[in-house]
Amino acid sequence: MRDVVIAGVGIHPFGRFDYGYRELGAYAAEDCLRDAGLTADEVDLVLVANVGAEMAKGHNVVNRLRHTGKPIVNVEAACASSGSALALGAALISSGAHRSVLCIGVEKAPRGFIGASGFETWQIETGLGVNPLYFAIQAGELLRDTEATEADLAEVSVKNHRHAVHNPNAMYRKEISREEVLESREVCPPLRLLLLCAPNEGAAAALLMHSDEARRRGITHPVRLTAAALVSRGPDDWFVPAPAFPVDRTSLSERAAQLAYEQAGIGPADVDIVECQDTDAASELLAYRELGLCAPGEEAALLRSGDTALGGRRPVNVSGGLLSKGEPLGASGLGQVHELVTQLRGHAGARQVEGARVGLGHVMGAGHNSCVVVVQR
Amino acid sequence: MTSLEPADLLAWPELFLTAEPGAPTALLAGGCTGCRRTAFPRAARCPACGAATRPTELRGPAVLDTCTAVLSTPPGALVEAPYEVGVARFPAARICVIGLLTERIEPGTMVDVVVHEPYPGGRTFGFRPVGAADRDLAPGPRTTPSAERLL
Ligand SMILES: [Zn+2]
Ligand SMILES: [Zn+2]
């Protein structure tokens, strides 16, 4: 994909706050517009990613900024909502329909289990309509089929929490020990509380622009968005909320990653830094395989090598990941993009990945959808 | 390809053959006449390839591939935590189904599909170790056949 640049990024920290989603979203949008040096009325289109708010939510967010008269479209695809907004925005710019698209992701998730994930009534009533159950099944398979152990799962969480100490936008900024993780409350074995991310609140934004427009405006060193690949359920995929899957099932994330690599004209070896959907610790290890960072079965070896930690060859989730930032569903993908762009600009401070030129972001959502984006300097 | 009427999409398919709790049952699935995949729950047309399906039944013995548990009651659930959940693999149909377990079961155990009462008056399908019904009636060693011996 050519001609699409990220002219600005913005974020409201992830956590718990005493104001609403409209304020969170408007904050991130204004932060982004300032970064790009634009005002809201100069944007051709606003896409707002959100899962759980109300009708016309994006309109309510933008109303906090300016009454521009320009189109506003709400985008929802569970945890891949902001990835979907990015893919849509990029396509509209590539096609020439718009010169600039502001993508805002925002969420104010209630505490506790995420409800309304698309389960049928019979699943909910019989206790099968619960997301961590699905992640626990994947984790169980990973422990059964590969060398990965529960200690490796804990190490993913330890690593991401260590990274988050340096990220002012993360909810949990305290190091935790392997013992603390392994002694935390069991939720769905083998997953424990500190092996799972917490749904929370936050917002992030990115201003997409045609490269000609960026040049005209004197945005001299923009980060390029070279891939935004979006896939939904194929014949042999499985994810929340499906009650059954084929014995030889396939991976949505793997397909999204392959498509993204094709769009960007790169391979996994070219990637310097990754932000992936660590909904739970096992999901991060699975992503190593699905994103092509290692061969199947070598997930634990890659983790143990230190390559995916800050200072390693190809760090994963230096932002702290969802395990430390928490997961504001509609904002998580744009939060990844904020981190990747900050890294590629060399502005990440103590968590800076030196010389990062190619970044990859990955989200995966209920209802079977996955989005992989590639940003390049 | 047989035609699919829009009205066919309005009814939610039955999941299993009803019987008394504890009785063996079958999951009501759809076998594709085109690509041969099995879909559960049953759909009038194969979600993978669009061809017509014919009713097929998924019966035990199946292999319990993975298991986990829910340790606190989720919102909306009528069943009370803690309870066990597992994935049963039906080798011939090449499909895995997520369901409640009637007891704690080790992965690799052969299981039957039975009618399960997860809460008073509730009916759903569940997975129970092969031979567990006999075991519960007669005293003796509590062993269940392993997948290796039966497949
Ligand atoms: Zn005025
Ligand atoms: Zn078919």
| Interchain CB distance below 8 Å, B48 and A112 | no
Q: What's the CA-to-centroid distance between B32 and ligand 2, angstroms?
A: 5
Residues in chain B: 151
A277 inside domain: yes
A79: annotated active-site residue? yes
E runs forming strands in chain A: 4-15, 45-49, 72-75, 100-108, 186-188, 191-192, 201-210, 223-232, 244-246, 273-275, 358-365, 369-376
Do A138 and A96 fall within a single domain?
no
**Both A69 and A184 in a single domain?**
no
Residue A242 lies in a domain: yes
Q: Is residue A356 part of a domain?
A: yes
* pLDDT (tens digit per residue) in A11-26: 999 999 999 999 999 9
Question: In this structure, is residue A285 part of a structural domain?
Answer: yes
pLDDT tens digit string along B20-54? 999 999 999 999 999 999 999 998 899 999 999 99
- Please check whether residues A32 and A160 belong to one and the same domain: no
Q: Is residue A116 part of a domain?
A: no
Residue-wise pLDDT for A298-350, tens only, equals: 999 999 999 999 999 999 999 999 999 999 999 999 999 999 999 999 999 99
Per-residue confidence (pLDDT) for residue B136, from 0 to 100? 63
Structure tokens at A228: 């935004």
Closest by Cα among A155, A126, A150, A127 to A139: A150
In tens, the pLDDT along A106-124 reads 999 988 767 778 999 999 9
Interchain contact B87–A (C-beta under 8 A): yes
Q: Are residues A32 and A77 in the same domain?
A: yes
Q: Are residues A26 and A91 in the same domain?
A: yes
Angle between helices A150-164 and A131-145 (to 10 degrees): 120
CA of A233 relative to ligand 1 center, distance in Å? 47
Query: Using 50, 70 and 90 to split pLDDT, how confident is the model at B8?
Result: confident
Which of B27, B67, B70 would best serve as a mutation to test chain A binding (most A beta carbons within 10 A)? Answer: B70
How confident is residue B134, by pLDDT bands cut at 50, 70 and 90?
A: confident
Phi, then psi, of B113 in degrees rounded to 5: -90, 125
CA distance B88 to B127: 8
Shared-domain flag, residues A257 and A341: yes
Q: What is the mean pLDDT of residues B111-120?
A: 97
* CA distance to A48, A149, A302, per residue, from A117 (Å): 20, 29, 32
pLDDT of residue B143: 46
Chain A contact probe: residue of B18, B73, B85 with most A CBs at under 10 A: B85
Transcribe A43-80 into DSSP letters.
-SEEEEE-SSS-TTHHHHHHHTT----S-EEEE-BTBT
Tell me how close the Cα of A149 comes to any Cα of chain B, in angstroms: 15
pTM: 0.95
Residues A144, A97 within the same domain: no
**Proportion of chain A above pLDDT 90, given as a percent:** 96
Answer yes or no: do B48 and A235 touch at CB < 8 A.
Answer: yes
Q: Give the model's pLDDT for residue A124.
A: 95
CATH (domain of A321): 3.40.47.10
Rounded to the nearest angstrom, the gap between the alpha carbon of residue B21 and the centroid of all alpha carbons in its chain is 14
Q: Give the ipTM of the model, two decimals please.
A: 0.94
Q: Flag whether residue B140 sits within 8 Å of chain A, measured between CB atoms.
A: no
Q: Which of B41, B71, B100 sits opposite A126 (nearest CB)?
A: B100
Token couple for B143: 């062993």
Tokens 């939510």 locate to: A57
The model's pLDDT over A57-98, given as tens digits with 9 standing for 90+, comes to 999 999 999 999 999 999 999 999 999 999 999 999 999 999
- A281 pLDDT band (50/70/90 cuts)? very high
Cβ of A125 under 8 Å from any chain B Cβ? yes
Q: Which of A130, A144, A244 lies at the smallest CB-CB distance from B107?
A: A144
List chain B residues with CB under 8 Å of A187: 71-72
Number of domains in chain A: 2
What residue of A is the nearest CA neighbor of B63? A247
Find all residues with CB under 8 Å of A97, minimum gap 6, and list them.
Answer: none
- Return the pLDDT at B21: 95
Report the alpha-carbon distance of residue A141 to residue A249 in Å, rounded: 13
Would you state the torsion angle of the CA atoms of residues A176, A178, A179, A185, taken in this order, to the nearest 10 degrees? 80
Question: What residues does A244 pair with on adjacent strands?
Answer: B97
Q: Which domain holds residue A145?
A: 121-191+226-376
Query: Residues B33-51, buried b or exposed e (16+ Cβ, 10 A)?
Result: eeeebbbbbbbbbbebeee
Residue B13, chain A, CB below 8 Å: the answer is no
Confidence of residue A9 (pLDDT cuts 50, 70, 90): very high
> What is the Cα–Cα distance from A338 to A264, expressed in whole angstroms?
19
Q: What number is the average pLDDT over the span A271-277?
A: 98
For residue A241, pLDDT over 70 is answered with yes
Residues A245 and A330 in one domain: yes
Please give the Cα distance from A113 to A131 (Å, whole number).
8
> For the residues A122-141, what does the mean pLDDT come to?
96
Residues A210 and A257 both lie in one domain: no
Residue A25 lies in a domain: yes
Same domain (yes/no): A315, A346: yes
Give domain status of residue A196, yes or no. Answer: no
Given pLDDT bands bounded at 50, 70 and 90, which one contains residue B10?
Answer: confident
What strand order describes the sheet that includes B53-58? B38-39, B27-32, B53-58
